[in-house]
Chains A and B, each alone.
Chain A
Amino acid sequence: MADRYNSSPVNDVTPLLEMRGISKSFPGVRALDDVSLTAIAGEVHFLLGQNGAGKSTLMRVLCGAHHPDAGEIVLDGAPVRLTSPADARRIGVAVIFQEFSLVPYLNLAQNIFLGREPRGILPGTVNHRKMHADARRLLDTLGVDLDTRTLAHELGVAQQQVVEIAKALSQDARILVMDEPTAALSDHEIDRLFARIRALTAEGVAIIYISHRLQEVAAIGDRVTVLRDGKNVATLNSSQATVNELVHLMVGRQVETIYRRKFCEQPGDVVLDVRALDADNGVQGASLTVRAGEVVGLAGVVGAGRSELARAIFGADRVVGGSVRVNGQPLGRGPVSAVRAGVGLVPESRKTEGLALMRSVEDNILVAGLRKIFPSGWYCARAAAHVAADIVSRLRIATPSTGRLTRFLSGGSQQKVVIGKWFAAGSRFFIFDEPTRGIDVGAKAEIYGVIEKLVADGAAVLMISSELPEMVAVCDRAYVVRDKRIVGELTRADLNEANILRLAMHHDA
């Protein structure tokens, strides 16, 4: 078994690229711990792992954007030092990130040769004729029939990706990193992309391929490296790798109990009842229920549409079909009616959507509940202070006073202020979107404690999380979202990381 999980290149092949023992820490996190990766000329090497496993950090090290704390990068058997993206480009590393790097109002030729324009006769000028001819030749080798004078913003996603590939090739890339290249492509476009990838590898380019779509490993991969918690787990030949095995490797160890709560035995009445919900943000046909006393999870990979679903339920994005009922009453349009019906949204980015950072703890706590606390419309400072102080003590928010600006609080305390805001508004149904992102471990347990106390008091919670252990430890049930649809429901008995990953990643399971 050990050998199967340590597939090294055939002996007489010198790897094109070796990353050896790469470690990288950020404050509070060890993102990469002694990670190694080799790439051979002409292979498609998959890099797999859960969110936060270290894939992106490793690729940022490779493209010179992060400097590793330890380890070395070896190219053609010789160590290289990468201090900037320019260094990486010079040795032939090109990265196609998910967010494309095209300039919308420059044409294709200008985009492909950005920063490396052929010189014209006068100083500072560009030889447009040569640039367009070179671009034409590149696009021809890729079998692309696009006018080089087209502006980038006029292209569809698939075409933009082709331009990115052309841009990489124009830099004589020998190692091409593709981050979720098929995320936005149709099946037909994926076929064309794979054909291009095969043509590139036939010319000796090594491709490092990051994807959440595990069935692509068999379709196009040569080898697979799996990362977990910033460490190497395995490198194996893709012919040996089944989807189930890959899921197993990504999940790995039995979940250490990060938190154990008493799960809900007897859920109460239905609080949230969503039926066949369509929204203009792409959510389609979503149906789900949450009962009093339950924590229900919304699982899925980043970009699957969980936040969109939550925003549609809350009324922050426009609903075009289906119904949302809270305590049996249909919700009207917009967040105002959701808040009045007792729904509280704790959004993903608390600093931009959840808090007014330059206002005090008290102001933030009261902002959603003013109408409820002061129905007459007259503000009473003493009553306001009383309500805020009460919530601060109930949630045990670590702040020297209720007058402290929220920007000075820790991440965990900030999150509690956002939750406290909905206490003041009298919410009985809470939507948590990534409630523990960027919060240290101790504070995480406290947030879980708050959630548990909420449901123990008869409230209902819908929780979005990308951290699978958290999902498994905290939720009574979970729905899995993929491509903006709900693709499955997992009851307590079936709720484990492997089942979530299977539902969240299988393209056609």
Chain B
Amino acid sequence: MRSVPGAAYLLAILVVVFAIFGSGFATMANVLNIGVQSSVLLLLALPMTLIIMTEGLDLSMGAVLSLAGVVLAWMLMHEHGLPIALAAAAGVGLAFGVANGGLVVGLGLPPFVATLGTLGIAQGLALVITGGQSVTGIGDALPALYESRPAGIPFSMAIAVAAFFVFRFTLSQTRFGSYVSALGGNREALVLAGVRANAYHVSVYALGGAMAGLAALLLTGRMSAGHPTAAIGMEFDAVAAVIVGGTSFERGKGSLGGTLIGVLTIGVLKNGLNVLAIPSSLQVASIGVLVIVALVIDSGLKK
């Protein structure tokens, strides 16, 4: 990483403040708790970083995650087995991602509009399938997997950390990674270089959908049930984390390390406010403030 995003300073300040004023914040159990709570968000924020780097946006991620979680739970309830259930959830996510990509790249719709539409569709489907009720009775396999601790760390954290390194490797070491930056930075150059830019562009959105499907594993595992509105609004946190982390909507500039810091900042903020017993409705507002403060710091650092 070439420069430290403004959020890194904010994160450090928040940690210090909460550690002083919030009793129980600086405990091992709570630190792991923050990690677990941030895992799902990181799984969305990583592909969101790539999408925003292409000068795009995916507002449907939260709703697609909810839908995939419901599908996962429903498949488990009907005893289809975890691998098949997970494949179905990921498949639903992938389908929505491909649809987003098709609408944006194929039909040329603005990403905001296209993914707002698929947000509505995914949310509606989740409610229709469940009748608005939670899907429970998902058996023991997923909860057991979720409670496992590979290498001593909670399962969801292990998945999130692995995903982070896979994305880092992909962005820095593969052709796909270079083309993601080129799609946002200078799409014409990519086309003139003879690269099938449209195919790569669609696959960035497809990746976003698939990751939302994968994240359903953690979300449903945590709740031992599928809730049709479980992840409502999570795209807001994901976009906030990406922006706070210094990724720009212009010119293909992006940093996954920055996104990780953004996710942790949001995680620490929410957790710390909980520890201080501040009502959850204020937490949403606090994330809004966080985004603005981080951007102000960044624009100040540039000068």
Contact = CB atoms under 8 A, between A and B. Distances in A.
Contacts, number: 63
A110 B178 contact: yes
B193 A104 contact: no
A115 B193 contact: yes
B175 A126 contact: yes
Contacts of A84: 194
B204 to A, nearest CB: 14
Interface string B246-263: 000001111000000000
Q: By CB atoms of chain A within 10 A, which of B185, B188, B252 has the most?
A: B185
Interface residues of B, number: 21
Contacts of B254: 105
A357 interface: no
Contacts of A124: 174-176
A103 B175 CA distance: 14
Q: Which 9 A-B pairs have the closest CB atoms?
A: A115-B193, A101-B189, A103-B185, A86-B194, A103-B182, A115-B195, A114-B193, A103-B186, A105-B253
A116 B175 CA distance: 9
Interface string B140-175: 000000000000000000000000000000000111
Given A110-B178, A120-B173, A126-B174, A102 B186 contact: yes
Given A114-B189, A126-B173, A126-B175, A103 B181 contact: yes
B281 to A, nearest CB: 38
Interface of B: 173-176, 178, 181-182, 185-186, 188-195, 251-254
B189 A104 contact: no
B175 A105 contact: no
21 contacts: A84-B194, A85-B191, A89-B194, A101-B192, A102-B186, A103-B181, A103-B182, A103-B189, A103-B252, A104-B185, A104-B186, A105-B181, A105-B185, A105-B251, A105-B253, A105-B254, A106-B181, A114-B178, A115-B195, A120-B173, A125-B173
Contacts of B176: 124
Contacts of B174: 124-126
Contacts of A110: 178
B251 A116 contact: no
Interface in A138-165: 153
Question: What is the interface residue range for chain A against chain B?
Answer: 20 to 34
A104 B252 contact: yes
What DSSP secondary structure best describes chain B's contact surface? helix
B176 to A, nearest CB: 6
A89 B193 CA distance: 9
Of B181, B188, B193, the most chain A CB neighbours within 10 A belong to B193
A72 interface: no
Nearest to B255: A105
Given A85-B192, A104-B253, A117-B178, A128 B173 contact: yes
A147 B70 CA distance: 51
Given A114-B189, A117-B178, A125-B174, 12 more contacts: A85-B191, A85-B192, A101-B192, A103-B189, A104-B185, A104-B186, A105-B251, A105-B252, A106-B181, A106-B182, A115-B194, A116-B193
A115 B190 contact: yes
Nearest to B186: A103
Nearest to B184: A105
A85 B191 CA distance: 9
Contacts of B251: 104-105, 153
Contacts of A86: 194
Select the residue from A105, A116, A125, A126 with max chain B CB neighbours within 10 A.
A105
A68 B174 CA distance: 38
Contacts of B175: 117, 124-126
Contacts of A102: 186, 189
B194 A126 contact: no
A9 to B, nearest CB: 30
B173 A114 contact: no
Nearest to A120: B173
A128 B254 CA distance: 20
A248 B194 CA distance: 41
